[in-house]
Amino acid sequence: MSQQEVQPSPEVIIGVRLSALWNELAISVPTGDVFMVGAVYRDSMVLVGDVFLETNLIPLDMVEFDVIMSMDWLAKHRASVDCFQKEVIFRSPERLEVTFYGIPGAREFLDVFPKDLLRLPPHWEI
């Protein structure tokens, strides 16, 4: 896929102006790739449940994810991540509690996904 084919999803970013960062950021991801980023969508809104939460979005040329939220963003919105229940609970003084359950995953479609996908990866020596 070429650089021109990878565009921000219109469902994710609507009516928000892209502005330049003071300094270009080098963002490394677990795959070892490094993305050089020089722009940000400031004061964007993301819909969680039925509540809009403010965020700044940094565009990355990644096909697998629409949005990756940071720990700082989760803390700002007083989020609690419950891995066992597979939910994120947002609690803030100015509004009621909002719970995000995510979207259906591989466990709900056992007949489609291979069995190795549902277990931990093998141990690798580093």
Which of 62, 86, 109 represents a domain boundary (last residue)? Answer: 62
4 or 63, greater pLDDT = 63
Please give the pLDDT value at position 107: 53
In the predicted structure, residue 118 carries a pLDDT above the cut 70: no
Same domain, 26 and 45: yes
- Domain assignment of residue 110, given as a range: 69-121
Which of 17, 45, 62 represents a domain boundary (last residue)? Answer: 62
Q: How many domains does the chain have?
A: 2
Same domain, 15 and 54: yes
**SS3 of the chain:** CCHHHCCCCCCCCCCCCEEEEEEEEEEECCCCCEEEEEEEEEEEEEEECCEEEEEEECCCCCCCCCCCCCHHHHHHCCEEEECCCCEEEEEECCEEEEEECCCCCHHHHCCCCCHHHHCCCCCCCC
Position 126 in a domain = no
pTM of the model: 0.59
Same domain, 104 and 85: yes
| pLDDT, average across residues 41-58 | 85
Give 7-49 pLDDT, tens digit per residue: 454 444 556 788 999 999 998 887 888 989 999 888 888 888 7
